[in-house]
Structure formats: C-alpha cells, structure tokens
Amino acid sequence: MNPLLRFAIYLILAPLIGGLLAGIDRKLSARLQARQGPPLWQPFYDVRKLWNKENIVVRRSQDFYVFFFLILMVFTGGLFFAGSDLLLVVFALTLAAIFLVLGAYKASSPYSFIGAERELLQMMAYEPMILVTAVGMYLATGSFYVNDIAAHSGVLALRLPGVLLGFLFCLLIKFRKSPFDLSSSHHAHQELVRGILTEFSGSTLAMIEVAHWFENVLLLGWVYLFFAASPAAGIAAALGAFLLVIVVDNACARLTWPTMLKGAWATTLVLGFGNILFLTYF
C-alpha cells in the first residue's frame, strides 16, 4: 500500500480508534471498581464540550506549544504507519513530549511546574527502553524501517521476549497509568489537580486529549510489530497489551518517581540489553 495512503488512513482512523479505546478504558475501569461507568462514546462528548468552552490561558504561548505537540504526535504516527525509520519515530515522539512539557512550564503554576518536572522524569525512565526496542528490532530483522520489520517472516516476540516485556513495562508510563501516573492521572478520584494538565482548558485541553489518542494508537501499533508475521496475532497482542495496562492500573497504587526510575532502568538493563546481548552473541 502507498505510504501516503497509509498516512491518510492513520490520520482518519487513529483519533476514532484512540477515542474508542479511551471509552473502553473508562468502562472497564468502572466495572473493575464495581461502578456502571460512562458510555463508550463519552471521550468524544468530552472533547466536543472542551472544544466549545472558553480557552483560558496564563500565556498565549501555551497554545503554540500544545498545537505543535498535537502536530508532532500526528507526524510521528504518520512516520510509523507509513513505514519510516524507527529511530526517526523515536526522535519525533520525544520532541512531541518536550513541547507538552514546555507548555506546562510556560503556565508558571506550581502544579503544572511539578507536573512538567515529573513528565521529564518519566521521559528519562522510558526513553532508554524505547530506543533499545528499536535497536532490538534492527538486530532481529536487519533494518530500522517499519516496512521491513513488518514484512519480516519471523515472529519478533520469539527472538525479543525481553525487549517485548520491557516495552510493555514502558507502556504503563506512556499511557500514564498506575503505578506510574506521576505527571497526570486520568482518574479524578486520585487527585484534585491534574499535574502537567492543570493550567490547560478549553480547546487546548481538547487538543492534548486528541494527541494522546494518536499516541496510544502508535504505541499499540508498535506492539503489533512484535507479531506482525501473523496479523491476527498482532492485533490480539495489541488489544491484550491494552487490557493488561488497564488491569495493572486498577490493581496497583501509585509509586514514587525514584521507584519508577529504578524499575524502568533495571528493566532496560536486564530485559532490554540482556536480550540484545543474547542476539549478538548467540
């Protein structure tokens, strides 16, 4: 399929799939907590409502940073699903996260400032494992390009089990789920202010939510790559990873940032680098 066509499909379907996944997340979380929960389409209602609300900001430059956060997240997913270089995808994903952090810093609020600091700590925790995942896929397939990795005849999960487990660990941080939802919680019962998102409102907050939908589809697409030799298994693995993140989120209490850093770095060293060393010498 033409890369531009794949990008167009991603551009249209990613927010729809991402919003639906957010609705499933809320519904399953509510059922795990013995509640009824909102309808599946509630995230779409929320974004529409936010878009029509007045946008109150401390500094107008906040909107600039959030707009580029959304654009870069769409660009990152487009690179991935168009079959581009994984290293470029990692770079663009990191750059997008930096723009969100800069927007929170611009607000000059103690809550958003602390949220931005915690977001940077989360980036320090998961970035090494994300990079190791790209390197592991290169060693297993001989290419950094998503097209080549997806076309590889073998199931990468069988050659990269440690890398896969490490990537799943990082999903808890990237999805902002317990026990590592340090910069912002998606559940109102956990905190009164939303950390890095405290000073965003209206259409700006709506753009952030939509950007996270694009990001979540990208991350689940990365899980799919581990099983791309069998499309059905890849889709099942992506959905299984999503359900696993929800269960862990509702089963675990929030941990401190030193625990997150130690856990993520230990996972990267033991599972990630251990798996790469095995590929290199055996």
Q: What pLDDT score was predicted for residue 189? A: 47
User: 179 preceded by cis ω (within 30°)?
Assistant: yes
Residue linked to tokens 């209206």: 202
Q: Which residues does residue 34 pair with via DSSP β-bridges, in sequence order?
A: none
- Nearest CA to 92 out of 111, 108, 112, 73 is that of 73
200 within 8 A of 56, measured Cβ to Cβ = no
pLDDT tens digits for range 72-93: 999 999 999 999 999 999 999 9
Domain assignment of residue 152, given as a range: 3-281
Q: What pLDDT score was predicted for residue 180? A: 87
77 within 8 A of 217, measured Cβ to Cβ = yes
Q: Which residues of the chain are under the pLDDT cut of 70?
A: 185-194
Rounded CA-CA distance 259/266 in Å is: 10
pLDDT tens digits for range 44-56: 999 999 898 877 7
127 within 8 A of 272, measured Cβ to Cβ = no
Written in H, E and C, the secondary structure of the chain is CCHHHHHHHHHHHHHHHHHHHHHHHHHHHHHHCCCCCCCCCHHHHHHHHHHHCCCCCCCCHHHHHHHHHHHHHHHHHHHHHCCCEHHHHHHHHHHHHHHHHHHHHHCCCHHHHHHHHHHHHHHHHHHHHHHHHHHHHHHHHCCCEHHHHHCCCCCHHHHCHHHHHHHHHHHHHHCCCCCCCCCCCCCHHHCCCCHHHCCCCHHHHHHHHHHHHHHHHHHHHHHHHCCCCCHHHHHHHHHHHHHHHHHHHHHCCCCCHHHHHHHHHHHHHHHHHHHHHHHHHC
- Nearest CA to 100 out of 7, 185, 183, 188 is that of 183
Q: Which residues does residue 85 pair with via DSSP β-bridges, in sequence order?
A: 145
Q: What pLDDT score was predicted for residue 105? A: 87
Cα Rg, the chain, nearest whole Å: 18
Task: Spell 241-260 as b/e; 16+ CB within 10 A means b.
Answer: bbeebbebbbeeeeeebeeb
- Total number of domains constituting the chain: 1
Q: What pLDDT score was predicted for residue 232? A: 94
pLDDT tens digits for range 164-187: 999 999 999 999 888 888 887 665
Rounded CA-CA distance 83/76 in Å is: 11
Rounded CA-CA distance 254/177 in Å is: 9
Please report, as a single letter, which amino acid is at residue 170. Answer: C
Rounded CA-CA distance 15/213 in Å is: 6
The Cα angle at residue 65 between residues 61 and 71, in degrees rounded to 5: 140
Q: What pLDDT score was predicted for residue 250? A: 87
Q: What pLDDT score was predicted for residue 266? A: 95
